[in-house]
Structure 1
């Protein structure tokens, strides 16, 4: 039993690291310093209004992704990469808010721009997140490393 728990912890940590690495290395495009706005958050706001939920299908429709490539399909998270005519997106959906928060804390160190909802995150160029943000809601956050 103890070995199984240890294995689950190692697997969850590995998947989190893989998710962060793939998101960062597949689409990382640092935002120019002139784009720093009120959306810049060094840490996640605690007393924000509730974030909207969205299914993976709804997110893919909002970014106009017709050929998603599944990169991670685990019990804790699902990560899909998509290249559209506009650019590249990485979409993560999480089974719990705790899993999302753990992923997010690790991802912040790499910088980047995120569209964040309740148990989902889209990583892309800041300009590409404007349209899905209008459709899905959520919060656009930019972090510099």
Structure 2
């Protein structure tokens, strides 16, 4: 039985395999790392003053605590899930909800589900504020976003016959 030739440089093969594995994994680890630039940006955004938002065209970032600070409250987190985070704000004027999402797709899914109830919501990039309709314009001045009217299901109010 003939012997198979041995590799002349077994160490070289091993180094080549290690290098190939490293090059294959490197882009994955780089994509998962946060990077210092992102953290610095988040810190700068979280220090935005309430008065800066409308003047500078700032749109609130999708973080319950930051949006709450911009609206003048300290939220009580009531939902902390992978799909959304929701905080309740209690102020002297009004109680309201701030809901944030990891993606706009999840935000739109939430809005589709809420459309059965109707109502007005202040909607931004990856966040929603639910409050009394008369408060939304003031929040919009501070946060940006757009006020969206959801239809709702069920019978419409009928004028009385009398």
TM-score range, shorter chain: 0.5 to 0.7
| Paired residues for 1:11-26 under 5 Å | none
Counterpart Cα distance in 2 of 1:144 and 1:108: 6
Q: How does 1:1-145 map to 2 (within 5 A)?
A: 52-54=59-61, 55-66=63-74, 68-145=75-152
Which of the pair has more CA radius of gyration?
A: 2
User: How many pairs are equivalent?
Assistant: 94
- Tell me the TM-score normalized by structure 2: 0.54
- Give 5+ residue unaligned stretches, structure 1: 1-51
Root-mean-square deviation (CA, aligned residues, Å) is 1.7
Q: For 2:117, what is the secondary structure of its paired residue?
A: coil
1:140 partner SS: strand
Offset from partner CA, 1:74-133 (integer Å, 9 cap, x none):
111001111111111111000011111111100111011100001000000111112220
**Which structure exhibits the higher relative contact order, with contacts defined as CA atoms closer than 8 Å and separated by 6 or more residues?**
1
TM-score, normalised relative to structure 1: 0.60
- Aligned partners of 2:60 and 2:66 also within 8 Å: no
Q: Flag as ranges the 4+ runs of structure 1 deviating above 4 A.
A: none
